[in-house]
Amino acid sequence: MPKTTSEALEAARMHPERSLRSGQGSAFKGILINGMLGAAKLAAGLLGHSYAMVADAAESFADVAGSCVTLYGLRIAAEPADPMHPSGHGRAETLASMVTALALVTVGALIFYHALLSLDEARVAPNPLTLLVLVPVIFVKEQMFHWMLKRGKEIGSLAVSADAWHQRSDVVTSVAALTGIVVAWIGGPAWNHADSWAAMLASLWLVGTGLWLLGPTLHELMEGSVDPALLEFIRETSLGCEGIKGIDKVWVRKLGMRLIIDLHVIVDPDISVKEGHRLAHEVKAKLQHELPQVRDVMVHVEPYEPELVKPLLSIPEGGTR
């Protein structure tokens, strides 16, 4: 059995039901915690005259919306294949990741715009008591980021990983709000707009993070290459079936957390069609047993020709990351 491993390979080894429950649990937790933290920050921002904190509350409510999108995307992705979607609905999870990334860009742009307008308004210095809300919020959201990112990698979910970065974005806006409030408090009336400047700087980070998160999503939608360790595992596992003399090509399509494999195996040219068919089903069954996230395997049987074995080793392989 292959000894190589990776996050993508370990995610493929997880049972789909367990992955789904894990992802949904992560999204539910995000909705509940972000809803409570957003309400607390909004109240503190309005009462404490802090624009940065009101903007931070808006980012928390955007996190709630992002977690809702993730939850809905996971639910749709889990639906079985139908005549209109013969490969299943797994890409709904990928699209949820894209929506979350675009939401970050949109929220960042709106925060920057409104913070810029607030620079021309007369401002009252933010109340330093708002820090009593911000400090514990930063701690909680940073813990959520690490927990959700780990969960997203474990189950191979771009949507959950994107949701995790949404939590980190909230940490950045909270740190910016804290910095702006402290500067305005220490600097006096001349620095009353410090938290607006802080909100603008944080918004640039939000936009950048959202654009960065679009990369893996577009890569998957465009069916880019998968993790090399996963490809190697598929190759070695297939070669472990008696009667398989070599592997010609391996392609992997990633549909959300599920995988579809297209595999070309080399067999003895003198065996019967029935025996070749049996070997193909054996390879498929073994791969689906070892990698529960594999939804389907298309096995193409090719005859063994010694003079072609060496060139076949250099044939490129690929599929979606």
Q: What is the pLDDT of residues 214-227, one digit of tens each?
A: 998 999 888 888 88
- The whole-number pLDDT of residue 110 equals 87
CA distance 11 to 157: 9
- The whole-number pLDDT of residue 307 equals 61
pLDDT tens readout for residues 166-194:
888 878 878 887 887 788 777 776 676 77
> 228-319 is classed in which CATH architecture?
2-Layer Sandwich (3.30)
Packed helices 194-221 and 91-118: angle between N→C axes, nearest 10 degrees: 160
Same topology for domains 7-221 and 228-319, yes or no? no
The pLDDT-based confidence of 41 (bands split at 50, 70, 90) is: confident
Residue 314 pLDDT > 80? no
pLDDT tens readout for residues 235-294:
999 999 999 998 988 999 988 889 999 999 999 999 999 999 999 999 999 999 999 999
Q: CATH number for 7-221: choose from 3.60.20.10, 1.20.1510.10, 3.30.1490.100, 1.10.760.10.
A: 1.20.1510.10
Residue 309 pLDDT > 60? no
The pLDDT-based confidence of 132 (bands split at 50, 70, 90) is: confident
CA distance 197 to 174: 13
Question: Could you tell me which residues come within 8 angstroms of residue 162 by beta carbon, excluding any fewer than 6 positions away?
Answer: 66, 70, 96, 97, 100, 101, 152, 213, 217
- The whole-number pLDDT of residue 187 equals 76
- The whole-number pLDDT of residue 310 equals 46
The 8-class DSSP code of residue 79 comes to: S
Sign (positive or negative) of CA dihedral 202, 165, 89, 28: negative
Q: Where are the domains of the chain?
A: 7-221, 228-319
The DSSP secondary structure of 13-64, one letter per residue, reads TS-HHHHHHHHHHHHHHHHHHHHHHHHHHHHHHHHTT-HHHHHHHHHHHHHH
- The whole-number pLDDT of residue 186 equals 79
The pLDDT-based confidence of 298 (bands split at 50, 70, 90) is: very high
- The whole-number pLDDT of residue 282 equals 95
CA distance 197 to 179: 10
